[in-house]
Amino acid sequence: MTQARLIQNASELTHALAALSQAQFIALDTEFVRRNTYKPILCLVQAMTDKGDIFLFDALLLDLSPLWQCLKQTAAVKVFHDSRQDLEIVWLESGQLPSPIFDTQLAALMLGLGESCGFARLVEAELGVVLSKDQTETDWSQRPLSDAQLQYAIDDVFYLAKLYPQLQQKLTANGRLHWIDDDNRQLSEISLYQADIISLRKKVKAPPFFNAEQKLRLDALLLWREAKAIEVNKPRQWILDNGQLLSLAEKMPNQLEQLSRLGLAPQTIRKHGQTLIELLAHPPEITQPAKIPSVDGEKLKRLRHYIEQLACELGLRQNAVLANKDELSVWLAGGVRPPRLTKGWRNALLTESKMDLIVGELRQATQP
């Protein structure tokens, strides 16, 4: 087994953080379980420095606040693969995010290595190593961790640390290092990890027959349930299930006994019944996000084709890395690029390829 230090007490943590604070880069990964809670239960945090030090932080035994603070303060590059899930856990645990970030999956996309390049696949393609997958469904909350679990956890950061300089070198050679810098910076934006009404609506879609008032009540219920689930750290469905949300929004009960007829449990009615009735009667005003405009399907198809051609010329297998469907719809409808397409490498490429002229021609063609 590759040598690593299992960190399980405050003294060990202090020594490990001293090593992390001196690192140029830190490869990071997390292991967790989901078990009847809103937040994942963090079980282990793995870290490897550019000097070869490997630390396994036992999150079930430690207060990791000093670790989160260290990762926030140190200038070392924090290297993840498919970082959104790991960073969401860090955000939920600490209320802060580390920076700067380097995401190896994003690097693989920028190099045209695949649309959804998993870690094991990338390690095999770049390093010629086939990783074991026998611990992908393991219980990380068990103690003590088995040798197989420890080796799996070590391998994640060991090979992540090997990938980082290799991918960085390739990006530099291709003139794309600044591409990933632009996108990596966005990964440290807190708004990515905060639930908003757009993401909540995707979990419970309003039926077509809902009127504007019913939709407003549903929005209010979604936001209330999310806040309550976070507060008590329980799954959303344990607060109110999706069917109950829809029934409440549709029927707008104004008496406690009506809540029972809609299927709410007595305990839920005792705890939250009056609050729900008042919320339904006076739903708060919610700032409505901008809607994705409807555009001519044929024109959008042609614009997407132009973007696909440009992506292909750049060797990108995923054209959404350049611009996604919603962004193209906004651009085509209003004639003005969405914010992400006006910054950094995307702005330069779209300007150089005269894509604004193409959008203008398509817009003219849709007018009578």
Backbone φ/ψ region at 130: left (φ over 0), alpha (ψ -120 to 50), beta:
beta
Report all structural domains of the chain as residue ranges with CATH numbers, in order of start. 5-193 (3.30.420.10), 197-281 (1.10.150.80), 297-366 (1.10.150)
**pLDDT at residue 132, rounded to an integer:** 85
pLDDT at 274 (0 to 100): 96
- For the stretch 72-103, pLDDT in tens is 999 999 999 999 999 999 999 999 999 999 99
Q: What is the pLDDT of residue 50?
A: 97
Rounded distance between C-alpha atoms, residue 100 and residue 36, angstroms: 33
pLDDT of residue 34: 86
Mean of per-residue pLDDT scores for the chain? 92
Question: Taking 60 as the threshold, does the pLDDT of residue 367 lie above it?
Answer: no
Other Cβ atoms less than 10 A from the Cβ of 220: the count is 21
Whole-number percent of the chain with pLDDT over 90? 78
Average pLDDT over residues 172-179: 92
Give residue 201's pLDDT band: very low, low, confident or very high (50, 70, 90).
very high
Question: Among residues of the chain, what percentage have pLDDT more than 70?
Answer: 98
Cα–Cα distance for residue pair 272/256, rounded to 1 Å: 10
Please tell me the pTM assigned to this model.
0.88
Give Dmax (Cα) for the chain: 74
Of 1-5, 178-182, 257-261, 354-358, minimum mean pLDDT range: 1-5
**Which amino acid is residue 160, in one-letter code?**
L
pLDDT confidence of residue 128: 94
Statement: residue 184 has pLDDT above 80: yes
d(CA 173, CA 45): 32
pLDDT digits (tens, 9 = 90+) for 7-45: 999 999 999 999 999 999 999 999 999 889 999 999 999
> Has residue 133 got a pLDDT over 90?
no
The pLDDT, as a whole number, for residue 159 is 97
